[in-house]
A and B are shown apart, each in its own frame.
Chain A
Amino acid sequence: GKRRGRRAVVRCQQYPPLRALQASAALRGASDEHKKEPWASSSQQHFDSPPAGHQPEQKPQGPHPSYTGQGGQESEDYESEEQLQHRILTAALEFVPEHGWTAEAIAEGAKTLGLSVAAAGLFHSDGSELILHFVSECNTKLSELLKKEQKLVQLGEAEKKPIDEFLRDAVEARLRMLIPYIEKWPQALSVLLLPRNIPSSLNLLTSMIDDIWHYAGDQSTDFNWYTRRAVLTAIYNTTELVMMQDSSPGFEDTWRFLENRVADAMTMSNTATQVQSTGEAVVQGLMGAAVTIKNLAGLNQRR
């Protein structure tokens, strides 16, 4: 995750001049967590023990882990295959509104980087990797946004939002990132639901929901953890679907729908506690009634 990337950067700094041969700095900044250390042997696993607390692992790669098969040919001068693929996908995003989530968009993206259009062959022809890349990028942006807000609250420069407003704003911010691609997004959703892609897309979805709850201050370690995630996932998915066919100006209908769902969820949690205490009260009442009857029938007496 991010911890891993930061440790990598420290080691990389020993050889600064050799690194920057091919990449643009802006994209490097964005791809910080996807950097693979060039001289790490392929057999070495970079899985440090997972850091305490909820740091979601954001896996950038889609269903096909790319392998170089060159076993360590990545020297300091070359960016790795993965970085190049990452750059191509990022460049391809601007062609998505026109070409859709297809190999054509990837080919156009490769062209802007000075590569041949055949580089689109590096990826699947149905655009899965492109979509997963986009989703992962959006999730990263959301995380950064939430972290910034949290920092402001910690510094005392902003008010801590109540939970329902926080969730609402987070989901809205995340869904707004879809607006430039909204026309072709239904196509993307269907590709994400292909059996091949479900593990990755589910992973990305759950880590995003996890992220939001983490920044919302959720510290639960009991069953509530699951219910909260399930509830927010449902809210997010349904709002996304509403957004697909929303034609109101500025997507007002969608945001209103979101507000109502979040409100529902809040009352539901209140209702849940109410139900629980009601349940307890009812049980106690029944117990009391049973004891009373026993008393009346004389069964409780000890002769």
Chain B
Amino acid sequence: MAAVRLCRCRCRALLSRSAGALRARRGLAAGPEMHFGFQTVTEEERREKIYQVFENVAKKYDVMNDSMTLGIHRVWKDIFVHKMNPCPGTLLLDVAGGTGDIAFRFINYVHSVRQRQLQRKLKHHQNLSWQEIFESYQKDKFNSLGDSQVVVCDINREMLKVGKQKAQHLGYSEGLSWVLGNAEELPFDDDKFDVYTIAFGIRNVTRIDLALQEAYRVLKPGGRFLCLEFSHVSNPLLSRLYDLYSFQVIPVLGEVIAGDWKSYQYLVESIRQFPPQEELKAMIEDAGFFKVDYENLNFGIVAIHSGFKLHNENTSC
């Protein structure tokens, strides 16, 4: 029974995926049909449904992440922030960053880099008096992040609420702000941020091309776009195992742990609907980014795409 349903889902997936991908590539606003998992819905419906999905899963989001990926998602996010290699003074915009995983890692990273910087400075000044050392510590106590800041932006109020609670619980107060906003229409000015990240969020954006254009807009010249997302596994054996795990295990986990089969069914299907690495790379280049490349983690289960905004918009003809 389930196998038959799976087969039918796959057939529809093939049709709707090609149509959906084509439309996504052309960025047609007129074509109202989009994919929601393996279903076909209008744009508005899709936004609503996705909002509901995340409203439902918000409280159990982190627990589910851990159980679905067996905790590996933490490693992925660590690698992601490591690749970013932010230095103190960086202004980060984390879009669809709801529960704040990337934001917290960013703050930790910048904090430790800053500590090392201060240590090095002190080592240089070997002849300071105790008074001077004391004063330098005082001064830098208020600058432990070196003016770095992260803005967490999410479209879903519930996810932001969970994130804020987590921040309070873990003791993150400095350099963090929470904004409600839509990735397709960011409430920020042009040329503001050093780094724009979107981790496991771009899959849920209805118009990816608009989100990429917005990313380009809000980044400073020289700014970096980083995207962490589930992607396509090319190895056929691994792909079979991965499909098996995704479709048979994850929705069950969803039902058992979060009491929500459908949301996790959507999640797994949306991963299949998402454009593969090369296609996403092409879309990022279309938005105007340079030096776009991607790095596969775990054979393509997850991929990190990176691009740079190299020119100022105002000088383009």
Residues of A within 8 A of B (CB): 21-22, 66-70, 77-78, 81, 84, 103-104, 107, 110, 113-122, 125
Contacts and interface: CB of A to CB of B under 8 A. Distances in A.
Nearest to A78: B311
A66 B220 contact: no
Given A69-B292, A116-B221, A121 B87 contact: no
Given A22-B315, A69-B293, A117-B194, 18 more contacts: A68-B291, A69-B285, A70-B290, A81-B290, A81-B310, A107-B87, A113-B222, A116-B224, A117-B89, A117-B222, A118-B84, A118-B308, A119-B224, A119-B310, A120-B85, A120-B87, A122-B291, A122-B308
Given A66-B291, A77-B315, A122-B291, A117 B87 contact: yes
Q: Which of A78, A116, A119 has the most chain B CB atoms closer than 10 A to its own CB?
A: A116
B224 A114 contact: no
B291 A117 contact: no
B211 interface: no
Interface of B: 84-87, 89-90, 117, 194-195, 219-224, 281, 285, 290-293, 306, 308, 310-311, 315-317
B85 A116 contact: no
A122 B83 CA distance: 11
B54 to A, nearest CB: 28
Nearest to A18: B317
Given A69-B293, A81-B310, A121 B281 contact: no
Contacts of A70: 285, 290
A110 B90 CA distance: 13
A120 B86 CA distance: 9
Contacts of B315: 21-22, 77
A214 B220 CA distance: 47
Contact of A115 (B195, B220, B317): B220
Contacts of B290: 68-70, 81
A115 B291 contact: no
A81 B291 contact: yes
Contact of B221 (A78, A81, A104, A114): A114
Nearest to B92: A118
B172 to A, nearest CB: 22
Contacts of B86: 118
Nearest to B192: A116
Contacts of A78: 311
14 contacts: A22-B315, A69-B281, A69-B290, A69-B292, A70-B290, A78-B311, A107-B87, A116-B194, A116-B220, A117-B87, A117-B222, A118-B195, A118-B222, A122-B308
B194 A118 contact: yes
A110 B223 CA distance: 11
A114 B194 CA distance: 12
Contacts of B308: 118-119, 121-122
A120 B281 CA distance: 21
A301 to B, nearest CB: 86
Nearest 4 pairs between A and B by C-beta?
Answer: A115-B222, A119-B222, A116-B222, A118-B224
Nearest to A115: B222
Contacts of A113: 222
B310 A84 contact: yes
A68 to B, nearest CB: 6
Contacts of B224: 116, 118-119, 121
Contact of A103 (B87, B223, B317): B87
